[in-house]
């Protein structure tokens, strides 16, 4: 079952998250989440970049993570930034940039994420020395229109 939720905040922009199955087909749901969130913020011009990043992060989780589900999030921590992430249950399977050969059909996803992101990375989820998963994230710079 997939659930979508807006995360209301007392100030700033709402965040959006979606729980989905850890399968390649969930990338379409993630792209939709990114497009909807950016449209809600009036950032239509950047929506496809956010959708691409989400798609690549979901594809990596589907291929390399563990567990049945993932959580996709889209947040706007500042007027000029959008934060896209995927949380999975595989703390020991860390993302790695690869240098695929010219004929390789895989291995370019994180290179794309790096190319379009202001910055990207990963964090452990959990407490202390017992992480239960990780969050792989990308921060995108956006051309925000100041509020009237």
pTM (2 d.p.): 0.86
Q: Which helix (H) or strand (E) element contains residue 64? A: helix 47-64
Residue 105's pLDDT is 62
**Structural domain contains residue 62:** yes
Domain extent, residue 91, equals 3-141
Closest by Cα among 50, 36, 123, 40 to 88:
123
Question: Residue 134 has what pLDDT?
Answer: 93
Give the residue ranges of the chain where pLDDT is below 50.
1, 147-148
Question: How many domains is the chain partitioned into structurally?
Answer: 1
pLDDT tens track for 121-133: 999 988 767 778 9
**Location of structure tokens 């050969």:** 101
The pLDDT, as a whole number, for residue 112 is: 92
**DSSP-derived 3-state class of residue 81:** strand
Q: CA 75 → CA 96, 137, 146, distances in Å?
A: 24, 11, 18
In a domain, 148, yes or no: no
CATH number reported for the structural domain that contains residue 132 in this entry: 3.30.565.10
């Amino acid at each position: 079952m997939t659930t979508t939720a807006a995360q209301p905040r007392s100030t700033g922009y709402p965040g959006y998250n979606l729980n989905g199955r850890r399968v390649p087909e969930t990338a379409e749901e993630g792209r939709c989440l990114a497009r909807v969130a950016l449209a809600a913020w009036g950032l239509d011009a950047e929506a496809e970049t956010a959708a691409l990043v989400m798609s690549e992060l979901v594809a990596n989780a589907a291929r390399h993570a563990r567990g049945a589900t993932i959580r996709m999030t889209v947040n706007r921590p500042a007027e000029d930034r959008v934060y896209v992430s995927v949380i999975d249950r595989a703390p020991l399977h860390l993302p790695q940039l690869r240098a695929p050969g010219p004929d390789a059909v895989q291995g370019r996803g994180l290179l794309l994420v790096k190319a379009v992101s202001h910055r990207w990375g990963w964090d452990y989820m959990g407490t202390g020395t017992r992480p239960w998963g990780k969050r792989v994230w990308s921060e995108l710079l956006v051309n925000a229109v100041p509020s009237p």
